[in-house]
Amino acid sequence: MDVDGEGVSAVATGDRTIPMHPGRHEAFHQFTQQKLPACKPVLTPAWVISIFLLMGTIFIPIGLVTLHASQSVVEVVDRYDIECIPEAFKSNKLGYIKDSSIPKNCSRFLKVYKRMKAPIYIYYQLDNYYQNHRRYVKSRNDQQLLHGLKYNGTSSCKPEQTNNGLPIVPCGLIAWSLFNDTYEFIRGASELTVNRKNIAWKSDRDHKFGKHVYPFNFQNGTLIGGGMLDPRIHLSDQEDLIVWMRTAALPTFRKLYGRIEEDLNADDVIVVNLMNNYNTYSFGGKKKLVLSTSSWLGGKNDFLGVAYISVGSSCIFVCFVFILLHMKNRRPYGGHNLFVLEQERHL
């Protein structure tokens, strides 16, 4: 019973000195004997408390800044898929959308509730649209997009691989189902210019879609999917297509349509003349038109900011609970016995 703190220091002296091989490098020796200088972090209460506190103090400010950035974005969303169907066709939406003889034009009024600074991004948003379906994602051919008709191995494009015995460029379901609603924006009397250049990733335009590849035999089949392509423009310039072909990750997604490079003032009313061509009615998808500004963090989404703040504050909360518990309980003495003798277990 006479052991005290000194016991531990005796441990240090008890370490035997082991003869070293002459000529071996010190560091190598440390390595082979597993005696490298090491830091051995132990979760002492002091560490735990300071780490939680640190987390809290870092996260809350980040959260505030992030949230502010998101709040500063102005976003105008308008769902038009239902409204743009004439009363007569309300019960037969599919018939309306499939009948090419019926004019598809439709006008929407958007009210800007807060001043929007240029550039204002125009997105179309689709709901319940599985661009991430395996069959869909795989149904394209990157080689053909880059090299055009020179490339033949397009079996992955089935069923939109050939038509009337001729290859389709661009082939595959993705291209075939190209989104083809169009929008025109009118403020007051003047039409707002929509810049539809530079909406796709530069790497896609330069390296994935060929400058010498022109659409060929596209949408010539019996079954017409989505939009048509101008066969005189090479693929690298067909930015609609390029944007569309970067498949979305989730069934609800937005895609960039263009930019308005003018500021919009609060209470401006924008008239949108759109062509409601794209069929989302057969699978019950929604179509929305979105106008949005952007901050350094992108578009409007409070999630990250709120999450940062809540995780930060819960860190601080845990920190206080821990301090409280720590003060209340001294070190556990005796406590539960982990080591039941093997022998005892057998009997």
Smaller CB separation from another protein, 45 or 188: 45
Among 13, 100, 101, 190, binds another protein (CB under 8 A): 13
CA distance 267 to 284: 32
* Tokens representing residue 294 in the block: 């952007």
Question: Could you say whether residue 327 binds another protein (CB under 8 A)?
Answer: no
Report whether 291 contacts 125 (CB < 8 A): no
CA distance 121 to 292: 5
Question: Could you say whether residue 323 binds another protein (CB under 8 A)?
Answer: no
Among 64, 194, 228, 248, binds another protein (CB under 8 A): 248
Footprint of another protein on 291-310 (CB under 8 A): 292, 294-301, 303-304, 307-308
Footprint of another protein on 227-246 (CB under 8 A): 246
CA distance 35 to 103: 81
Footprint of another protein on 91-120 (CB under 8 A): 94, 119
Question: Could you say whether residue 169 binds another protein (CB under 8 A)?
Answer: no
Region of 9-17, 212-220, 234-242, 260-268 interacting with another protein (CB under 8 A):
9-17
Among 22, 23, 25, 37, binds another protein (CB under 8 A): 37
Question: Could you say whether residue 18 binds another protein (CB under 8 A)?
Answer: yes
Min dist CB 244 to another protein, Å, is: 11
Min dist CB 45 to another protein, Å, is: 6
Question: Could you say whether residue 10 binds another protein (CB under 8 A)?
Answer: yes
CA distance 148 to 331: 74
* Tokens representing residue 48 in the block: 């735990």
Residue 33, SS3 per DSSP: coil
Question: Could you say whether residue 163 binds another protein (CB under 8 A)?
Answer: no
Nearest to 209 by CA among 124, 140, 135, 137: 140
Q: In 10 A of CB 126, how many CB atoms?
A: 22
Question: Could you say whether residue 41 binds another protein (CB under 8 A)?
Answer: yes
Footprint of another protein on 56-85 (CB under 8 A): 59, 62, 66, 75
Count of residues near another protein by CB under 8 A? 121
CA distance 196 to 51: 49
Return the bridge partners of 270, or none: 110, 187
CA distance 214 to 235: 6
Question: Could you say whether residue 43 binds another protein (CB under 8 A)?
Answer: yes
